Amino acid sequence: MRLAVLGAGAVGENVAELAGEYGHTVTAFADSSGAVIDSAGIDVAAALSRKAETGSVGEADHEAALSADYDVLVEATPTTLDDAEPGFSHVRTALERDRHVVLANKGPVAERYDEVRELERASRGSLRFEATVAGAIPALATIEDLGPERVSAVRGVLNGTANFVLSRMAAEGLGYEHVLAEAQDLGVAEADPSFDVQGTDAALKCVILANVLSGGGYSLDDADVEGIEDIPGAALELAAEDGRTVRLVGEVDEEGVRVGPRLVPEHGTLAVTGTLNIVQLETEHAGRVNVSGRGAGGPETASAVLSDVGRLPRLE
């Protein structure tokens, strides 16, 4: 397949670098200030060198990437809330051109799911978004295989930063602020960690899962979200005395979407440690299926994007 990759952050960069290994050609690659376009295939290494030197992968207009020759638009620009722009417009342009779209950007399927599905129905292209939920974990593919109508609920630990902080607080008996600063030093937490520690990122993933299970209707406003900022170290100590610990758990069921700190058994399935993520599916006939692994990271998320590309039918 010919790929146009929008976004040259960790995910876009890794998709562009790995595409050849998966048998694909990158025909356009854009960041927020420029693009490189070549219908015969761009030189990815040269584009990345250029970005390291000049700050941009190329000199073409970055909007021009959208009208380049490609089979699949890989949308890996940063997630935005509310109108999910400019990601939403990128999706619309590609689907209106009868091209496929693979999202790493959560915005369009968390905030405007019904609209993107409507655009997909009118298109010969298809939309996939495995990378938007829990990185390397094939959560959506597993739900698709089981049949969304046979998955009654999903529960999961879906934010690696929050989980790292909670695991360290519990293991070392340290306070939130201390562990957060340490996580920032290690590069596990961002300078502004609010998206992760307030639960927004986990909630977006849960909203996407809710849309998949119910066929749409959810956006971030529908989620009941609480973060981990106010958890005192003493709460973790008390939990440990009782053989339990605290995790930021997302829950999706017929009552809606909820994200918040929950007490879980200390050595139970949900108590993954460090930056790991886990998704638990409650199924009608197959019992509980757990999938865990790395929920973030450039190569891991790029791997999910490229698995999605592999699932797409050839465009005629």
**8 Å CB contact between 248 and 134:** no
Interface with a copy of itself includes 227 (CB under 8 A)?
Answer: no
Distance CA 55, CA 106 (A): 25
The yes-or-no answer on residue 205 being catalytic is: yes
* 158 is an interface residue for a copy of itself by CB under 8 A: no
Binding segment for a copy of itself among 67-75, 115-123, 230-238, 279-287 (CB under 8 A)?
Answer: 279-287
136 belongs to the binding site for a copy of itself (CB under 8 A): yes
**Which of 68, 76, 91, 137 is in the footprint of a copy of itself by CB under 8 A?**
137
Instruction: State the Cα–Cα distance between residues 227 and 180, nearest whole angstrom.
Output: 13
Which of 62, 205, 247, 294 does the annotation list as catalytic?
205
As measured in angstroms, the least distance from the Cβ of 144 to a copy of itself is 9
Note whether 203 binds a copy of itself by CB under 8 A: no
**In the complex with a copy of itself, which residue's Cβ is closer, 58 or 298?**
298
Helices (H), the chain: 10-18, 44-54, 87-96, 107-111, 113-121, 139-146, 160-172, 176-186, 194-197, 200-214, 233-241, 298-311
| 145 lines the binding site for a copy of itself (CB under 8 A) | yes
Q: Which 3 state secondary structure label does DSSP give 223?
A: strand
Q: Report in angstroms the alpha-carbon separations of 235 from 136, 242, 281.
A: 31, 11, 28
- Residue 56 beta carbon to a copy of itself: minimum distance, rounded to whole angstroms: 26
Region 288-307 residues binding a copy of itself, contact defined as CB under 8 A: 288-294, 297, 299-300, 302-304, 307
Q: For a copy of itself, which residue of 81, 283, 312, 315 counts as binding (CB under 8 A)? A: 283
Which are the contacts of 121, defined by CB distance < 8 A and separation ≥ 6?
none
> Which CB atom, from 49 or from 290, has the smaller least distance to a copy of itself?
290
CA dihedral (173, 251, 15, 89) in degrees, to 10, reads -130
Active-site residue list: 205
